[in-house]
Chains A and B, each alone.
Chain A
Amino acid sequence: MTEVFWFSEQPYGHVTDDDIDGYESGRMHFPNTMFDPIKAHQLYSNYHDQYVMADQVGFDGIMTNEHHSSYWCMKPSVNIDAACIAKVTKNVKIAMLGNVIAIQDPVKMAEEIAMLDCISGGRIISGFVRGTAVETLHSGISPTENRARFEEAHDLIIKCWTTPGPFRWEGRYWPHRMVNPWVVPIQRDPHPQVWFPGTGSPESVIWAAERQYPYMNLGSLLDLTKQLKDIYFETANKVGYQPGPEHFGYLMKVFCADTEERAQEIGRKYLWTEKHRNRGPAEFNDPPGYQSREALKIKMSRPVIGTGTMGKSMTYEELQNAYNIVVGTPETVIEKLRHIKRELDPGYVLIYGNEGNMAHEDVMRSIELIGTKVIPAVKNF
């Protein structure tokens, strides 16, 4: 099986390197006075048109996400975007990857996701994420609490979906004496599917595998991704189930155009955030306590193998050679995806399909080419 999902971070593409260069970091320090809501209105409209196109040309699903204080992702609420997808599309699955549950009220999350499942007619895949550290810092919550809050929020949301109310929840972070959400999900066997994403942390892979939650790798390089997939499969075997492609997905940057030259030229825009996305003091990207001391020891004891491409700077050509960015005509893209299928065998191919200030018409054409030419080929790999 292979299912293909469309994904856009919904970038605020009007930002240039020159705009950000003078600030201490690309996120928390980059002032929101650079944001123009009128321009954002047009961009949101374009992004929704792209969702409609993806639904019409044969994508199996649309993936969406959430970030805070980020110029490259104008989605502070994945649930609001999922509501838009639910209303503008008819067929696609809606993969939310996901709700940053450590910083939200879990009962409200359970209610909202259930509402989305009802609105969409049972098309929701509910991803849960710890978020980047900035999400936690932006919410005012201590990074040291993220993991424990994540785990409690997860358990409470699942309980909301599987245990008839009212019930009592004596949690550390969200104690409730009365939980009874009226709206529950359509998908009740036993609840909407949960996905879990990651970039480089083995802890996350093990957490997902222990719960049989499909693990989505968000664009790490192939060798690291293979290692992480192996960890998932080993954990699954220990837990006692047979893992397959349906437990594993891979996100990559893919862009199609009618000619190689055009694709190469537009694809260069994937480097838009390279200089600034993770720039800033470590206190923003990996503050003390965001990882456990055990994880820190492991990290310090091993050579840098990178998360995504963090840790080493790569050129456009190198990123293409590493299959991190895949651009070209449909024929070129099909061959590259065939290689990835052979190497990783992902059940879910997640296509990060636009970036920065790529022109709306170019992105629409790319979606059309992927949908009409690439996806049929991928289905026959």
Chain B
Amino acid sequence: MAATTVSTKEIKLLDTTVEYYVGGTGSTSLVFLHGAGGNSGWQSYHDQLAQLYTVYVPSQAGFNGTERPDWVYTITDMAHFNLQLISALNLQNYILMGSSMGGWIASEMASMDDSKIKSLILIDAAGIRPETGEIAEIFMCSAQTRLKQRFYDPEQVENYQNYKRDLTPEEIFTEHSNREMASRLCWKPYLHNWSLPFYLKKISIPTLIIWGDNDAIIPVECGTLFQKSIAGSKLEIIKNCGHSPAIEKPVEFMTAVNNFLANS
């Protein structure tokens, strides 16, 4: 498989500058929304997706050192922001994919307006309050605890050492800013929106929900709740996997995504 040529671009929008990676030449666009940890750059699963699609990976407003627009306080605000970003990028009939907090944003965007979205993929998404379990604490805990929560089995993670290395001062600042922005958006109610299950009933596009069966941050129960709220959606549970299936179980993840997109 040939590596994709990736560009880093910027677009000015609503009092801030959005930075994004774009790669691939497919006629269909795919937009990937990152989670609360910020934009970790062009990943190998982006590269695989870029074999078929033109993949956009924007840094969410306020993340990765970008300026937070004054009016963005909630994930709902962020969803409005992203819909305007999609318009500014002039994307039509695109695939919307979001992981964790990014899945929450994607689901609110699709609830607001799914007329330009071809299909929706939510990966271990935040946004719905579990009925029996709890969403794990990710803010009031140490970096070691956060890392431990993320993966089911570190041995399944390529370059796991990279997640444990000491950060440069620039990376520390970016990481701190990302967590500041995530705190601002997700502190209360904690990583969910009481109304989201009701918003979701408006979604009428093909939707795939992917979840690690051992997600220690957002319990798999939330995947079932998403499926119940989105008519016709499909839930794919990946075995022996934590909160980040695209990293921990890349083959199973890509198979689930490709099968879904081929049939939708």
Evaluate contact between B140 and A28: CB separation under 8 angstroms: yes
8 Å CB interface, B138-169 against A? 139-143, 145, 169
Interface size class of B (residues with CB under 8 A): 10 to 19
| Distance between Cα atoms of A297 and B179 in the complex (Å) | 15
Evaluate contact between B176 and A296: CB separation under 8 angstroms: yes
Evaluate contact between B188 and A142: CB separation under 8 angstroms: yes
8 Å CB interface, A292-311 against B? 293, 296-297, 300
Chain B nearest CB: distance from A289 CB in Å? 4
Judge whether B113 is part of the interface by a CB distance below 8 angstroms.
no
Evaluate contact between A288 and B142: CB separation under 8 angstroms: no
| Distance between Cα atoms of A235 and B199 in the complex (Å) | 51
| Distance between Cα atoms of A284 and B141 in the complex (Å) | 8
Evaluate contact between A288 and B187: CB separation under 8 angstroms: no
A143-B183 contact in complex given A283-B142, A300-B169, C-beta closer than 8 Å: yes
Chain B nearest CB: distance from A11 CB in Å? 24
Please give the number of chain A residues whose Cβ is less than 8 angstroms from any Cβ of chain B in the complex.
20
| Distance between Cα atoms of A282 and B178 in the complex (Å) | 15
A132-148 interface mask toward B, CB cutoff 8 Å, 1 = contact, 0 = none?
00000100111111000
B173 touches which of A142, A143, A144, A300 (Cβ 8 Å)? A300
| Distance between Cα atoms of A289 and B169 in the complex (Å) | 17
B183 touches which of A28, A144, A297, A300 (Cβ 8 Å)? A144
A283 touches which of B139, B169, B172, B188 (Cβ 8 Å)? B139
Q: What residue in chain A is nearest B169 (Cβ atoms)?
A: A300
A296-B139 contact in complex given A142-B187, A143-B183, A288-B183, C-beta closer than 8 Å: no
Evaluate contact between B180 and A288: CB separation under 8 angstroms: yes
Contacts of B142 in A (CB 8 A): 24, 281-283
Evaluate contact between B173 and A296: CB separation under 8 angstroms: yes
Evaluate contact between B141 and A142: CB separation under 8 angstroms: no
8 Å CB interface, A1-57 against B? 24, 28
Chain B nearest CB: distance from A148 CB in Å? 11
Judge whether B184 is part of the interface by a CB distance below 8 angstroms.
yes
Contacts of B145 in A (CB 8 A): 281
Which A residues are within 8 Å of any B CB, using their own CB? 24, 28, 137, 140-145, 281-284, 287-289, 293, 296-297, 300
30 contacts between A and B (CB under 8 A): A24-B142, A28-B140, A141-B187, A141-B188, A142-B183, A142-B184, A144-B184, A144-B187, A281-B140, A281-B141, A281-B143, A282-B142, A283-B140, A287-B139, A287-B183, A288-B139, A288-B176, A288-B177, A288-B178, A288-B180, A288-B183, A289-B179, A289-B180, A289-B181, A289-B183, A293-B177, A293-B180, A296-B173, A296-B176, A300-B169
